[in-house]
């Protein structure tokens, strides 16, 4: 599937995808996505054609760490390698100096934790009640070149 940079006009599609992909309490508000789509310090990619997948990274000044903001694949498109493809496509677009990757994920999110482990992320912190009371998270980090190797792409 072709993957391209997101545009402001993708806002509705991204919000629809989020609603289909996440439980309501885990969706980012529409206004956060609107801001992100015009922010130069973010990399946001979507699938071309049906908007079945999206990935967003936050880039902050003064750090060499890129932080994953969101990754979503529509339920109808799961299990076909799209999550992996979105990570690979986005790595190619992150500025060169960002050599480490970081993300937070719900500890009980088996598919996402499985995907991140499969591409080389490891758990580096436990985040108690991170997503609300009783909804624990973990932080996972990876070297960019390790993930690239796991995905068979150039770092
Ligand atoms: C997590 C998510 C993005 C995975 O997308 P996907 O396109 O189905 O993933 P892929 O097909 O690329 O799978 C790649 C690897 O991830 C792991 N994986 C995927 N689905 C899995 C599952 N249900 N259980 C365990 N591991 C799984 C496997 O290691 C898989 O490799 P394999 O197919 O060789 O076994 C998707 O399930 C999703 O959008 N979930 C809801 C949103 C979400 O939780 N996002 C992450 C928030 S931090």
Closest ligand 1 atom number to CA of residue 77: 7
Superfamily of domain 3-150: Gcn5-related N-acetyltransferase (GNAT) (3.40.630.30)
Convert the pLDDT of each residue in 126-152 to its tens digit.
999 999 999 999 999 999 999 999 999
CA of 64 to the centre of ligand 1 (A): 26
Q: Could you give the percent of the chain with pLDDT greater than 90?
A: 95
Convert the pLDDT of each residue in 63-109 to its tens digit.
999 999 999 999 999 999 999 999 999 999 999 999 999 999 999 99
Asked if residue 88 has its Cβ within 6 Å of ligand 1, the reply is: no
pLDDT band for position 154 (cuts 50, 70, 90): confident
Asked if residue 118 has its Cβ within 6 Å of ligand 1, the reply is: yes
Buried b (16+ CB within 10 A) or exposed e, 89-113: bbbeeeeeebebbbbebbbebeebb
Q: List all residues 6 or more positions away from 77 whose beta carbon is below 8 Å from its beta carbon.
A: 47, 50, 52, 53
pLDDT band for position 111 (cuts 50, 70, 90): very high
CA of 61 to the centre of ligand 1 (A): 30
Closest ligand 1 atom number to CA of residue 106: 48
- Its pTM stands at 0.97
How many Å apart are CA 91 and CA 76, to the nearest integer? Answer: 24
Asked if residue 87 has its Cβ within 6 Å of ligand 1, the reply is: no
How many Å apart are CA 58 and CA 43, to the nearest integer? Answer: 7
Closest ligand 1 atom number to CA of residue 112: 1
Which of 77, 90, 115 for mutating ligand 1's site (highest number of atoms within 8 Å of CB)? 115
CA of 80 to the centre of ligand 1 (A): 9
């Amino acid at each position: 599937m072709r993957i391209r940079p997101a545009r402001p006009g993708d806002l509705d599609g991204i919000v629809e995808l989020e609603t289909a992909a996440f439980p309501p309490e885990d969706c980012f508000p529409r206004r956060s996505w609107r801001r992100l789509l015009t922010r130069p310090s973010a990399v946001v990619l979507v699938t071309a054609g049906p908007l079945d997948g999206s990935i967003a990274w936050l880039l902050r000044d003064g750090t060499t760490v890129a932080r994953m903001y969101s990754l979503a694949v529509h339920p109808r498109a799961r299990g076909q390698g799209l999550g992996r493809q979105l990570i690979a496509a986005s790595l190619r677009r992150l500025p060169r100096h960002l050599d480490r990757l970081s993300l937070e994920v719900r500890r009980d999110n088996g598919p996402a934790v499985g995907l991140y482990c499969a591409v080389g992320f490891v758990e580096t912190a436990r985040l108690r009640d991170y997503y609300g009371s009783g909804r624990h998270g973990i932080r996972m980090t990876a070297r960019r070149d390790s993930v690239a190797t796991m995905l068979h792409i150039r770092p």
